[in-house]
A and B are shown apart, each in its own frame.
Chain A
Amino acid sequence: MTAISTSGLTKRFRGGQLAVDHIDLAVPHGSVYGFLGPNGSGKTTTIRMLLGLAYPTSGRATLLDVPMPDGATKVLHRVGSLVEGPAFYPFLTGADNLARYDAADRTADRATARARIDEALDRVGLLAAAKKRYRHYSLGMKQRLAIAAGLLRPRELIILDEPTNGLDPQGTREVRALIRQIAADGTTVFVSSHLLAEVEQICTHVGVMRTGKLVFQGSLPELRRTGASRVTVQTADPEAAAKVLTGLGLADATSAEAEASAVLGDASPEQVCAELVQAGIGVRGFAVASPSLEDLFVGLTGEGFDVSG
């Protein structure tokens, strides 16, 4: 049982560009799944296909075990979503905008609409601005109203596409707290982001996209495990130190100015240190470091501004 699962999901745009390339997503029930990737890596296109807004070129997708896009009208009312930023009528108030989306939902109960709208607005802290026109909302308020639309009724799954885009640090914190709250209620949260820090703080699972391909998927500890710890020695004689490290069977030994390092692997750091000293290397400093998630992320997605594809 997965909240979202896809197999071989592919989207080729009319121009021939492969936006999403055979991805197999498996989002466990109750998880907070971070869907990571640089801008333009296919995250939003994937989300559009999950929600039945865009049709896949090939492959399958299911939402709460209902096939999409055919099951759209059967399952989407159990799913809240924020896709590519908020969108509302500027001339309506926040509450009226929510009422409009609620009226479009054939399974929503008209009698409870008012109460549900107030509750959703309250949850995102917009109750006081309920009667204000959307046009006068700040960016953060717009974003929160979009999240409120996703909370108009109890959902089993919430899909949030870049929910903190354009928010100031305080707004970002608020949204993060909200996501934690939603997840605490047992709702599965699927949140896309190009910001690793965001995902690291709230997610239990991650999927990493790069140029339309899913290059990693698993729990956060699993992602950490993919990064090899390195041992770094500070010494006046880095080349000799690197030789000793290689001699101990450590891979990828490198030496730089006053420093040598290698992948620790299964070796014990204590032993490595002792061997270095025994080999007559003057050890000034000795450290074992695991790569940061950011290093892993950049390793998976590529560095810098080169938009691949």
Chain B
Amino acid sequence: MSAGRFYASELRLVLLRRRNLLLLAVTAVFPLIIGIALRLAAPHPEGGNGNGVAFFNQLAGNGVFLTFIALSTLLVLVLPVVVAVVAGDSVAGEAGYGTLRYLLAVPAGRTRLLAVKYGVIVTYALCATFIVSAVALAAGAVLFPVGPVTLLSGSTISLASGLLRLLFVTLYVAAAMAALGAIGLAISTLTEHAIGAIAALMILVVTSEVVDNVPQLAAAGPYLPTHWWLSFDALLRVPVDTSTLLRGLLSFAVYALLFGSFAWARFTSADVTS
């Protein structure tokens, strides 16, 4: 319907914008570099040194694990930056160009505009996450042996089940990024300067990560926006650690709802002065 047309138009605009395309390209390059680097440093199957990289020992035996290595590495900074750029720009960018007043005069409808903007952010986050998984999977298959997947808990599942788990892991990470996108959208409604919103969101991410690593502040950990991002390893065990997984998803949902509501309350009540 017409909301579909608006969404498609905005999505095309975001996806085809050179800056955003470049960010996706960068996201795609990282798993390649990580894969090649690890291949060069790969331990022999009979005696590996972990070097502190998560899933590193599993990688030598199975290329599928490159996806988990890539996701956990990129989750620290690269994926949040990519999402922050699009989310921070979403409303602030329009305000900065002055196009926001014309969109509202069209009328796009304030709630509808915000919903479309968030839909585009989520789609973009989904694209970025799946690009990481897809490129890492392809690179892993080329650089390392591929076969039945030995999980972190020691049991082995078929390659097909392993790939299904990879799909769930990717969706979990995408959910984390979608929640981050909601925070970015909220910040974006507060300013006319996209770069300010992007920076604010990144500062938030880094602060959360730092606080999460201070043992004395462990009590705050579970409530931090970044705390559950890497908990996707719960999917790589038999049985699946569902309680961790659900707590993570709950955290994402709460953050998305909280900041989504804030963005809506702010955007539907504020004067557009840009």
Does A100 contact B98, Cβ atoms closer than 8 Å? Answer: no
Q: Mark A107-144, 1 if CB is under 8 A from B, else 0.
A: 11010000000000000000000000000000000000
Task: Say yes or no for B6: interface residue by CB 8 A criterion.
Answer: yes
B contact residues around A87 at 8 Å (CB): 97-99, 101-102
Does B273 contact A54, Cβ atoms closer than 8 Å? Answer: yes
Does B108 contact A104, Cβ atoms closer than 8 Å? Answer: yes
Given A54-B273, A55-B271, does the pair A83, B102 have CB atoms closer than 8 Å? yes
A120 to chain B, nearest CB (A): 14
Count of interface residues, chain B, beta-carbon cutoff 8 Å:
28
B contact residues around A77 at 8 Å (CB): 106-107
Given A53-B101, A73-B107, A77-B107, does the pair A104, B6 have CB atoms closer than 8 Å? yes
Minimum CB distance partner of B95 in chain A: A87
A67 to chain B, nearest CB (A): 14
Task: Say yes or no for A272: interface residue by CB 8 A criterion.
Answer: no
A contact residues around B103 at 8 Å (CB): 101, 104
Count of interface residues, chain A, beta-carbon cutoff 8 Å:
32
A contact residues around B112 at 8 Å (CB): 73, 106
Question: Per a CB cutoff under 8 Å, which of A101, A103, A110 touches B102?
Answer: A101
Does B97 contact A89, Cβ atoms closer than 8 Å? Answer: yes
Does B98 contact A53, Cβ atoms closer than 8 Å? Answer: no
Given A77-B107, A101-B106, does the pair A106, B273 have CB atoms closer than 8 Å? no
Give A51 to B110 CA distance when docked, in angstroms. Answer: 13
Minimum CB distance partner of A77 in chain B: B107
Given A103-B5, A106-B3, does the pair A88, B109 have CB atoms closer than 8 Å? no
A contact residues around B102 at 8 Å (CB): 81, 83, 87, 101, 149
Give A101 to B6 CA distance when docked, in angstroms. Answer: 9
Residues of A at the B interface (CB closer than 8 Å) are: 48, 51-55, 72-73, 76-77, 79, 81, 83-85, 87-92, 99-101, 103-108, 110, 149
